[in-house]
Structure 1
Amino acid sequence: MIEVKNLVKRYGDHTAVDHLSFEIEKGKIYGFLGPNGAGKSTTMNMITGYIASTEGTVVIDGHDILEEPEEAKKCIGYLPEMPPLYFDMTVLEYLKFVADLKKIPKAKKASMIEEIMDMVKITDMKNRLIKNLSKGYRQRVGIAQAVLGYPEVIILDEPTVGLDPKQINEIRELIKGLKKKHTVILSSHILSEVSAICDYVLIISHGKLVASDTPENLGKLAAGSNNLNLLVKGQKDTIRAALESVESVKEVTVKKDTKSTEEGVYSVTVGTEENTDVREKVFYSMVNADCPILEMQSKKISLEEIFLELTESEKKDKNPEKKNSGKPFFKTAADAENYLNEKDSGESEAEENGSDEEKEEE
C-alpha cells in the first residue's frame, strides 16, 4: 500500500529523518512510535507530500508522491497534530468546503458528509461554530475531514494530544472503527495508545527506525526477559549455587544489599526462561539451602522500558566517538531481545565484579 525507501530530510546540518525505510500493508492500523523530536511528524509530512524529502522515495498505491502528487494524495486522508480548521465556520460549512477541495461529486457530497458526521458522532454539532467546540469535538471534525472522500489511507498525527481521558477513549474507539474500511497510520509518543489500537508498531528515534514488530511480539519481548528480584540472607556462594541448580533459571546475580543494616543480606536477580514462573522452586531451593527469603518480587520488562532502552541506545550511538559503532536495526522483537539480554548480562557481570572488588578492599 505504502512503500518508503531511504527517506531523508535535512534542515541545514540537522538530519531530521535519516534513511528511513518501511512498508505499510492494506487493512491494518500501524503505530508510528517515538519520543518528541524523533522525526515522526516530519515523516508524516513527507508521506503526505506536505513537504519534499531531501532523498528517498514514497510510493502510495503505485504512485510516487513527488512524481504523481495528485494521484498519490487522492489515496490519503491526513489529520495533522494541529487540525486544519476554520473556527468561524460551522461544522457543516467546513465539511462542505473540504468536500469541494477534494472534488467530491455534488451528487455524493451531502450523503457522504451526513454519513461521516454520524460515524464520528458530530451530527448534533453540525450547526455550531467550530470555535465553540471542545477540543475533543474539534479532533472529531479533523478526523471527519481526513475521512471525507473515503481515501484508502488515513494518517493521524498525535490524534489524542491534549484530550482528557474520556475524550481519549472515544477517539481511540473511533480510530479502531476506521480499520474496517481504511489502512490507518497513527503517529504517537504515548505507548499505551499504540498498544491499545495498533496491529503493528514502528519505533523511530533520531530519524531512524530502531524496531519494527507486532504489539504481541513486543509483548513477548517484555515477557521473555523475566526477572525475579530477591532479598536473601545467607552466604553468597550458597545462595548462588542453590539458585543456579533451579530448572529454567538462566542467570543469577548476587550482590551485597547496601540498604540493609543486617550482615549477610544480598540483593539477588534471577533471570528466567520465557513465560516461566520459578517462584515456588526458588522458595524451596532457598529453604533447603537454609537461606531465608526476606523479599521476593517478580518483574517483567515493560514495553515502556524496551522503548526507552532502544531510543536511549540510539541516542548514545549519536556520540561522535561512536559514530561508526554500527548498532544493528532491530527488524523483529527477537533481534531486540538478543541485544537487550547481551547488554543486561554484560552490565550485571560488571556490577558483580565491582562488588567483589569493593569487598576485597574492605
Structure 2
Amino acid sequence: MAIKLALAVFMAAITGISADQTSATAPSLVTFIFGDSLTEVGNNNYLPYSLARSDFPFYGIDYINKKPTGRFTNGRTIGDIISEKLGIPSPPPYLSLNPTDDTILKGVNYASGGAGILNDTGLYFIQRMSFDDQIDYFENTTKVIKAKIGEQAANKLLNEAIYFIGMGSNDYINNFLQPFLPDAQQYTPDEFLAILNSKLAEQFTRLYLLGARKMVFHGLGPLGCIPSQRAKSSRNQCLHQVNEWVLQFNSKVQKLINVLNIKLKKAQLMFADTYQDVLDLVDNPSKYGFKVSNTSCCNVDTTVGGLCLSNAKVCKNRKEYVFWDAFHPSDAANAVLADRFFSKMFATNGSVAFAPGHMG
C-alpha cells in the first residue's frame, strides 16, 4: 500500500503550484530532464564532432514532419509522451536555446546520447554531455532564471519543478562491458558499482544544492535483453549476467536515494523501477500487440555501433517491433512504457503529495 501511495506523486506537483504566480514566470508544471540517448531530443546535433548522433534518416520517420530531430528512435521518446499526457510541451534541448531565452522558465532537456554517470563513459563518441556536464548547464540555467524573475521566485520554481533523471545505461553498455576500455580491465563488477553509486551521490547532492527537490531517477531496464547484447549470445538470448548487474545497480541506487532523503532537508527523491515493465514487454510482446522483441526493426550492424544508418533496411510495420535499433525502443514500445509509467503515477484517487519513496 505504501508503494502504491507513492506512485501518485506527481498529482500534487501539478496542482500545488501557488496560484499567485503568473503563467509568464511559473507554468503549472516545470520539468528538467537529464539523461542519455533514451531521453535526448537533439542536444548532440549541436556538438559538431559527436559520433553519438541520430540526425539522419530513418530516425524520426514516425515523428512530426517525418524528419530526424536528434531523438534516437523512429518517433517519440518516453519523455515526449509523458509530457503530452501532462499537457505540457516536451522541454527543448538546452543547446538549441539562446542562453537568455524565456523558454527555460518552462523546462529544459539536457539529455545527451552517449552520456554517463562517469565522465569517461562514452569517450569514444568524442563529444557528448556527461551527467556532470548537464548539471553544469543546469547551473547556468538557474542563474539565468534568477536574473529573470528574482531569487525568491526562482528558488520556488526550482524547488517545485520535477527533475527526471535517467543515467547509467551507457556506463555499462559503452564502458564497463567494453573489454578494450580501462574501466572494464581494472574494476570488478562490485568495484565499478561502488564507483557509480559514489558519483551519483555527489551528483544528486549537487542538484539539490542548486535547488532541485523533486527528483525522479529512472532505474535501468534489462540491458542484457537489448539487441546489441543479444548479438553476443550464440542463441540470441538475453545475457543473464548483464541483467544481474543491472538489478544490483538498481538496488544500490534505491538504497542511496533512501539515505539522501533522510540526509538532505526537504529532498524528495524517488526511484522509478521500470525493469519488470520492460522485461515483460520483451518476454511477452504479443500481450502488448508486438510480434518481435529479440531484434530491431532497423537492420543494424552491431559490429559498427548498432545505429540505424541511412543505408539500412527498415521493417515495414514498425509498430510490431519493440526495438527500433540495437539500443533503443521503438515509438510504439515507448508509448506502452509511458502508459505503464503514467498509470502508476496516478494509481490512487485524489491528490497525493510528492513524497520520497519507490515507484514500481
TM-score clears 0.5: no
| Higher relative contact order, chain-length normalized (CA < 8 Å, sep 6+) | 2
TM-score for both structures, normalised by structure 1: 0.29
Q: In proportion to residue count, which structure has more strand?
A: 1
TM-score for both structures, normalised by structure 2: 0.29
Task: Decide which structure has the larger Cα Rg and report it.
Answer: 1
